[in-house]
Amino acid sequence: MKFLVFKEGKAPDTLDLQASYLVGPDEMPLRGRIQYVEGVINCELNTDDAAALALMWEVKGSGKFLLQTTRLANRAAPYVLNVELARWRLMRLMQKLEDWSLFDYQPMQSINDLISKARSLFVRAVQSAENPTDAAELANESLEVSIEAGESLAKFHATKMLTPRLSQGGPARKIFGCRLDQSMQADEIPVESLGSLSFVQVPVSWAELQPAAKTFSFGKLDRWFEFLLKRRITIKLSSVIKLQESCVPDWLKTGKIDFETLRDLVYDYLSHIANRYGKYIRSWIILSGVHAENYFNLNFDQILELTRLASLRAKQLCPRAASIIEIVCPWGEYYVRNLRSIHPFLYADMVAQSGINFDGFALHMPFGAAKEGMYTRDFLQISSLVDRYSILGKPLHIITAAPSRSTSAEAHSEDLSEGYWGSPWSEEIQASWLETFYRLALSKPLVESITWDSLSDSCTESIPFSGLFTKDWVIKPAFAAMCELQRELAETRTNLRPET
């Protein structure tokens, strides 16, 4: 499968394919080889099935996002990438219009006009197939309009759904929190920085808590609990079991560990944490990302069995604390790289359908870094993803972040490999993005909380410069926007409360 690429009427000299991957049926990433040579993207697939290409693409006036084509059959003649990106976007727009049943609403007229314009431009692009340069130019215009329409559609749907949800008493009042970084110390944090948060997530590292077999070191975590409990701040634990190599204790890496031994160690580890902190926590993320990274190369059945064991043990030990399973990289890009992984939605579906006793999923979806699972996506894609996980019928807890400045070395938009929204990242863009994302997420009936992934720029483990405060603990506009939204939601809920 090949694609001709045009930017400003000609093939670019280079094309960043760092974030690129192939996509098969049911949004399943496919393994294959992707290269850009002399104006043509060459995709070598390991299957004869139709596939789509996902890649970072700059859309004039809207941003730079990880977009994709429709699924296409293998053929000798190259496709025009610009045309196929526009085709996919229009298709996704029509799908969401139908899913959300928004055809007949009066405020939709301006969005429908944009969709009609994008469709008309796309038809002209297809009709210009004999002249790829002209087809690409028309397709670019179609994509620009359809991205604008998609963003407007996602925002309108969020507005339409949020007010009824608030009038019915949801979501819960304690919905805005922040995750603390593992490298932070309790005495570093100004108390006032936590005052407007409904809760904090305290990360747990198995490698730190159990530095040797049968030896636990709770000193640092004890200090966090003492600091937070003294100030009556609601505590949630995160990433209690994470089988990423950096989170596994060194003494477990020295020899071959069979599954039965690992299962017993996890059982004991959870018991120690629950016995020490169980009565203080509101919820805990008992498993994080085991579908994507597992140091012990567990197979599918073992991963599900470990999930079952951890969930059962958590309920036995802390029946009043919600047990959450965290889904990282929810689009599943890692699946192309890691042969021993499970696609995130397949894993979530299996867990939800297999009778495992747990209380919800956490979707870890930060944006704005040139890292797997963290490239910028537009809000129609984000809304669609939350909808997809919502069909599993479990409460959702969103963990997100976005930077207040570019994480790339260059400041020019074409060099921002992580992507951007509207304009290159800034403190103002971060604040606007946060408000839009929160409104969108809270409009979904099953979303129960939103956790910002970084409190301060001094310690941002996933997205650099994504803190709500600077490294010197100066408030950013994003934190002010979150507090204002929290106040607005509280007022709206009060005004919508039915009279008795």
Report pLDDT for 181: 84
CA distances to 40, 116, 351 from 287, rounded to whole Å, are: 42, 45, 12
Flag whether pLDDT at 497 surpasses 90: no
In the numeric block, the tokens 């636990």 are attached to 216
Asked if residue 380 lies in contact with residue 96, where contact means CB atoms within 8 angstroms, the answer is yes
Give the mean model confidence (pLDDT) for residues 130-142.
97
Report pLDDT for 107: 78
Report pLDDT for 59: 96
Peptide bond preceding 171: is omega within 30 degrees of 0, i.e. cis?
yes
pLDDT, one tens digit per residue, over 323-350 is: 999 999 999 999 988 878 999 999 999 9
Flag whether pLDDT at 410 surpasses 70: no
Per-residue pLDDT band for 37 (boundaries 50, 70, 90) equals: very high
Dist CA 214 CA 264 (whole Å): 12
> Range(s) for CATH 3.20.20.80 in the chain?
171-496
Q: What is the mean pLDDT of the chain?
A: 92
The dihedrals phi and psi of 238, each to the nearest 5 degrees, come to: -130, 155
Report pLDDT for 408: 66
Report pLDDT for 63: 96
How many other CB atoms are there within 10 angstroms of residue 352's CB atom? 17
What is the DSSP annotation of 166-223?
Answer: HHTT-S-S--EEEEPPTT--GGGS-GGGGTT-SEEEEE--HHHH-SBTTB---HHHHH
How many other CB atoms are there within 10 angstroms of residue 195's CB atom? 10
Dist CA 240 CA 361 (whole Å): 14
pLDDT, one tens digit per residue, over 271-318 is: 999 999 999 999 999 999 999 999 999 999 999 999 999 999 999 999
User: Interhelix angle for 344-353 vs 300-317, to 10°?
Assistant: 50
Dist CA 416 CA 395 (whole Å): 34
Flag whether pLDDT at 123 surpasses 90: yes
Report pLDDT for 409: 53
User: Position 107: which residue type?
Assistant: P
Flag whether pLDDT at 500 surpasses 60: no
The dihedrals phi and psi of 272, each to the nearest 5 degrees, come to: -65, -45
pLDDT, one tens digit per residue, over 433-468 is: 999 999 999 999 999 999 999 999 987 567 899 999
Dist CA 293 CA 224 (whole Å): 27
Report pLDDT for 499: 52
Q: Does the 171-496 domain belong in CATH 3.20.20.80?
A: yes
Report pLDDT for 255: 79
The H-assigned helical ranges of 391-497 are 427-442, 477-496
User: Position 426: which residue type?
Assistant: S
pLDDT, one tens digit per residue, over 228-274 is: 999 899 999 999 999 999 999 999 998 788 999 999 999 999 999 99
Per-residue pLDDT band for 192 (boundaries 50, 70, 90) equals: confident
Give the mean model confidence (pLDDT) for residues 113-141.
96
Report pLDDT for 67: 97
Dist CA 367 CA 377 (whole Å): 7
pLDDT, one tens digit per residue, over 352-397 is: 999 999 999 999 999 999 999 999 999 999 999 999 999 999 999 9
pLDDT, one tens digit per residue, over 469-484 is: 998 899 999 999 999 9
pLDDT > 90 in the chain, percent: 79
Report pLDDT for 466: 94
Dist CA 57 CA 49 (whole Å): 24
User: Interhelix angle for 427-442 vs 379-390, to 10°?
Assistant: 30
pTM, full prediction:
0.94
Helix (H) or strand (E) holding 277: helix 259-277
What is the DSSP annotation of 33-65?
Answer: EEEEETTEEEEEESSSS-BEEEEEEEETTTEEE
